[in-house]
Amino acid sequence: MGYEVTGSDCQESAVTQKLAKAGASIWIGHNERYARLADMVVYSTAIPDENPELAYARQVGKPLLTRIELLSYLAERNDSVVISGSHGKSTTTSMVATAFMAAQRDPTVVMGSVLKQDIGSAKLGHSKVFIAEGDESNNSMLAFTPKVAVVTNIDCDHLDFHGSLERLKESFISFLNSPKRGGFTVVCLDDENLRSILPKINKRVVTYGFHPDATYQAQGRKLNGDDGLSFEVHHKDDGPLGVINLRMPGDHNIQNALCTVAICREMGIAFDTVSFSLENFPGVRRRYDVLYRGDVTVIDDFAHHPSEVHALLSGVREVYKGRMRVIFQPHRFTRSKNLAQQFPAAFINADEIVLAPIYTAHEKPVAGIGLDYLNRFFQRQYDERKLRCMSEFEEIADYVYQSSKPGDVVLTVGAGSIYKVGQMLAERFSQRVAEESASVDLERLAVEMEEPNLFGD
């Protein structure tokens, strides 16, 4: 947009490198001098108050905005679509963005995930359309006044902030009633918690799901290819609209795609365009991210709530009949404490579970809550043949690699750094194939050299 951008982070990453390549001045580490020439300081709510740049900006009275306040300001100037919900909002936002780009609507997009094919997590468009995720974890979704407010589902999560499911519902009610005049809401009718709050929504409501009363319904679901699905979309009044083909499994992804159809069609994008974009959807990093496919398949996924884990493993089990080995890294002490009893059942489809240490996400430790605490709940449901705890990523990668068998599907699951184990395994399996191929070539060459020359040359 023409502004000079500077910034800092505690360590270098692919994100900081990409920002620097785009023209931003990036510093590693934090120092108040980095903020001295700034006209405005924008910060994440994860940044502590004692951060020297933030403290300096407050001291000298520089304008301060949180990340979400800046985004809501940008969204206010556009026809904005804000997608929230306990699960699926990143994938759905990415699907909607892909469809709008396919329709050449040139949207501005801000996602909480990274869309593949080098699209990234943000894109500046030149139309009036602004597509963004709305985070319910701290009610930042309420900073927006969108044209279209979308909620994919409501589940018991982030109750350390909301206090109770009822208060979480109240937040979603406020969000769904936030669209500006002429706007509307889109909700999944399959979700019981969403259905319970519909009488309190005073905006036009468009529904989607497998539910027979939904405005946009999924019918004729069937497996399609190695790990994809296809289904028919029916409109309650207009009848059948056509078929959607997806490259990923799971009914939750059918719901995400159906939500995309509902949003886009209500905003004037033809069904055929949406169908084409979904069939060619490049996928999102850390959402059913196939890292390696050979005699063993390695998949990485961000799932970190019991509902997400269960949906992921159910979808994978439907398309992979071999041994399913799941490496799970719990996310946050509070979530591990609050949902400990629900986690074991979410892994019912796994043949083997490897528990890694809790990813803290900079959360302060909770007394008595650690991997041993969570493991006790798993031990009540699974024996030692199916369950093990391992404390080091290298140890986990060594064990899984050395004990792998053809037909295995290995999943690294969690919102933290567990993807690194998936990357290690993908590299090792790739290297093993390369070495085996090279060995076969050498053996063939040796045989050819030993064969008699029938022509006497």
- How far is the C-alpha of 155 from the C-alpha of 157, rounded, in Å? 6
Note whether 53 and 169 are same-domain residues.
no
**Residue 346: pLDDT band with limits 50, 70, 90:** very high
Q: How confident is the model at residue 441 (pLDDT cuts 50, 70, 90)?
A: low
**CATH no. for residue 412?**
3.90.190.20
Report the C-alpha gap between 65 and 44 in whole angstroms.
Answer: 9
Distances (CA, A) of 177 to 59, 129, 180: 37, 20, 9
pLDDT of 36 strictly over 90: yes
Mean pLDDT calculated for residue range 43-54: 90
Write down which residue in 250, 279, 308 finishes a domain: 279
Question: What is the DSSP secondary structure assignment for residue 165, as one 8-state letter?
Answer: H
Q: How confident is the model over 112-134, as a mean pLDDT?
A: 86
Q: Are residues 201 and 83 located together in one domain of the fold?
A: yes
Place 454 in a pLDDT band, splitting at 50, 70 and 90.
very low
Flag whether pLDDT at 456 surpasses 60. Answer: no
User: If you ran DSSP here, which 8-state letter would residue 368 be given?
Assistant: T
Q: Which tokens belong to 293? A: 């496919």
When mean pLDDT is compared over 117-131, 217-231, 416-430, the highest value belongs to: 416-430
For residue 268, the 8-state DSSP code is: T
Among the residue ranges 145-159, 351-365, 440-454, the one predicted with the least confidence is 440-454
Residue 454 in any domain: the answer is: no
Q: What is the mean pLDDT of residues 180-187?
A: 94
Residues 248 and 332 in one domain: no
Contacts of residue 289, defined as CB under 8 A and 6 or more positions apart, other chains included, come to 283, 299, 300, 301, 419, 422
pLDDT at residue 334 is higher than 50: yes
* Average pLDDT in the chain: 91
Whether 133 and 111 share a structural domain? yes
Q: Domain for residue 457, yes or no?
A: no
pLDDT at position 40: 96
The pLDDT assigned to 277 comes to 96
CATH code for the domain of 45: 3.40.50.720
pLDDT bucket at 445, cuts 50 / 70 / 90 = low
The per-residue pLDDT for 352 is 97
CB atoms within 10 A of CB 262: 26
Q: State whether 23 and 144 are in the same domain.
A: no
The length of the chain is 457
If asked whether residues 268 and 229 sit together in one domain, one would say yes
Residue 268 — left, alpha, or beta (φ > 0 → left; ψ -120 to 50 → alpha)?
left
DSSP letter (8 states) at residue 451: S
What's the mean pLDDT in 392-400?
96
Looking at 256, 279, 302, which one is the last position of a domain?
Answer: 279
Query: How far is the CA of 24 from the CAs of 17, 38, 69, 114, 180, in angstroms?
Result: 9, 13, 21, 19, 34
Point out the domain boundary residue: 62, 81, 109.
62
Question: Nearest CA to 330 among 371, 368, 366, 369?
Answer: 371
Asked whether 267 and 278 are in contact (CB, 8 A), the reply is no
When pLDDT is cut at 50, 70 and 90, the band that residue 328 belongs to is very high
Q: Would 325 be classed as within a structural domain?
A: yes
Which carries the bigger pLDDT value, residue 438 or residue 207? Answer: 207
Strand partners, 284: 115, 287
452 located within any domain: no
Query: Are 246 and 316 in a shared domain?
Result: no
**Per-range mean pLDDT, top range of 4-18, 185-199, 362-376:** 185-199
Question: Strand locations in 250-372, DSSP E?
Answer: 289-293, 297-301, 324-328, 352-355
Instruction: Kindly state whether residues 181 and 303 are assigned to the same domain.
Output: no
Out of 258-262, 283-287, 313-317, 421-425, which region has the weakest mean confidence (pLDDT)?
Answer: 283-287
Q: What's the rounded Cα separation, in Å, for the pair 235 and 398?
A: 51
The strand ranges marked E within 302-446 are 324-328, 352-355, 387-389, 409-413
Give the domain extent around 253.
69-279
Residues 6 or more apart whose Cβ sits within 8 Å of residue 76: 144, 145
Written as six digits, the tokens of 271 are 């069904």
pLDDT band of residue 202 (cuts 50, 70, 90) is: very high
Domain count along the chain: 3
Residues 42 and 173 in one domain: no
Instruction: Please check the confidence at residue 367 and state whether its pLDDT lies above 70.
Output: yes
Question: Per residue in 66-120, pLDDT tens?
Answer: 988 998 888 887 789 999 999 999 999 999 999 999 999 999 999 888 888 767 7
The residue among 174 and 135 whose pLDDT is bigger is: 174
Q: How far apart are CA 265 and CA 143, in angstroms?
A: 26
Residues 78 and 58 in one domain: no
The tokens describing 425, both together, are 């395994």
Query: Are 253 and 229 spatial neighbours (Cβ–Cβ below 8 Å)?
Result: yes
Provide the pLDDT for residue 457: 46
pLDDT, mean of residues 316-338: 93
Q: Is residue 35 part of a domain?
A: yes
Residue 108 belongs to some domain of the structure: yes
Please indicate, yes or no, if residue 447 is contained in any of the structural domains. no
Top pLDDT among 137 and 216 is at 216
Let me know whether 125 and 50 are in one domain: no
For the segment 343-370, the average pLDDT, to the nearest whole number, is: 92
Residue 123 has pLDDT above 80, yes or no: yes
pLDDT tops 70 at residue 443:
no
Whichever domain contains 226, its CATH number is 3.40.1190.10
Percentage of the residues of the chain whose pLDDT score is greater than 90: 74
Average pLDDT of the segment spanning 33-58: 93
Are 239 and 346 in the same domain? no
Q: What is the pLDDT of residue 433?
A: 85
| pLDDT score of 257 more than 90 | yes
pLDDT value at 64 more than 60: yes
